[in-house]
Structure 1
Amino acid sequence: MQRSSLIAAGLCAALLAGCASVAPSTGGAAAPVAAYRANFDAAGRLSVNYKHNGNPESLTGKFTWVQTPTRLDVTLSSPMATIATISVTPQSATLVQADKAPQVAADLESLTAASLGWTLPVSGLRDWLQGRATAADGSAFVASASASSVTTRDGWRLRFVSWQSDAAGHSIPRRIDAARDAALGAATEELAIRIVLDGPL
């Protein structure tokens, strides 16, 4: 079995019932979006549908996200085990999978595409998880009731589907849908990711 298939099989064991139970909203945040935080922790679930070398693949799993101004740590897991961990610093990105030697690269997106079979858009997620993005024209995008979707500068179509409130009563994303079409020469062809964040952060 190919490495990407093994990972997909492990992640598919994760429970993703919450994704199906979240009712999509037609608008954006009702309250002002929370201010951007350089130190940001999150946990949730993700569902990925993609094509790899022409073959349709899918997986579900849980993740944790711990972000500081100088470091990012991401964990992907099933109910029984950690599937992969990713650490990002200004110098490099490191991906560790169970029973495999760590892989280090400067370009995390290429590293995850080659190792997992699909691209985890870590650079974008730093903003997306907090209701922000860089639009196709390079401008800063902040999701709101009147603007809940955007196409990013690197070709992702984002939709902030539903929201929740933090301790201060500000809105933060609950569910984010992201999709990207095939790119010439890309290892991952079509890719759609659904992200559901658990509880107020």
Structure 2
Amino acid sequence: MRIILVVFTLLWLSGCAYKAEKAPAGSWLAQKNALAQLQQWQLSARLGIITSDERGSLSLFWRQNRNDYRMNLTNVVGKRVFDLSRQGRSVQLTDSDGQQHQAADARELVQRLTGWDLPVEQLSYWIKGLPGATDQVTYDEHGRPSTIKAHGWELRYLGYTQIEGLWLPSRLDLSHQDTKLRLAINQWELN
């Protein structure tokens, strides 16, 4: 009888411990878990870019499907600047002349062809307001990321909007050496 009571008590305590680890609704941990599980989404935005050589305003369309993505940048008159996509391990960039270029690293490919240093792979997380495991993060009064420092980049989240119960960034600034990016997201779609 004593063994049964000990086993029952241990099972009950392990059940309580499991429940205690579950993130309370509305907490940053619950938000972070939901963002990590968000594998399919798309957005449209305005992207301001400033480098030592140029400055401009572009339209950005991004569609993410698990680890694959398509990022399309067009200028103010709607002409393609470039179309960048990743499928599996292959990254392909189609430039404004329709020429296709391939590489294994999106950041290197974009920098080589445009001169812009864009943190493409990290951006798919940062754009959702999801810091990486080793990123330095400060949080706002609601527990959402306010700034992130990682990979030589500094991000400032300037606004959030609530979409389907998630707080997603609506405006953010990114800076790295002589590159500054300002992103104003017009529309989120979550699948």
1:78-157 correspondence runs (5 A) = 78=75, 79-134=77-132, 138=134, 144-145=140-141, 146=143, 147-152=145-150, 154-157=151-154
What corresponds to 1:178 in structure 2? 174
Distance 2:100 2:139 in 1: 36
What corresponds to 2:66 in structure 1? 69
Contact 2:174 2:182 in 1 (8 A): yes
- TM-score (structure 2 length as normaliser): 0.73
What corresponds to 2:187 in structure 1? 199
What corresponds to 2:54 in structure 1? 57
Residues 35-94 of structure 1 deviation map (CA, whole Å, 9 limit, x = unaligned): 21111111101001112xxxx311110010001114110100123322210011232111
State how many pairs are aligned.
Answer: 156
Q: Which runs of 4+ in 1 moved over 4 A?
A: 30-34, 139-144
What fraction of aligned residue pairs are identical, expressed as a percent? 22
What corresponds to 2:42 in structure 1? 41
SS at match of 1:134: coil
Larger radius of gyration: 2
Which structure has greater helix proportion?
Answer: 2
In structure 1, runs of 5+ residues without a counterpart are: 1-29, 182-189
What corresponds to 1:12 in structure 2? none
RMSD: 2.3
In structure 2, runs of 5+ residues without a counterpart are: 1-25
- TM-score (structure 1 length as normaliser): 0.69
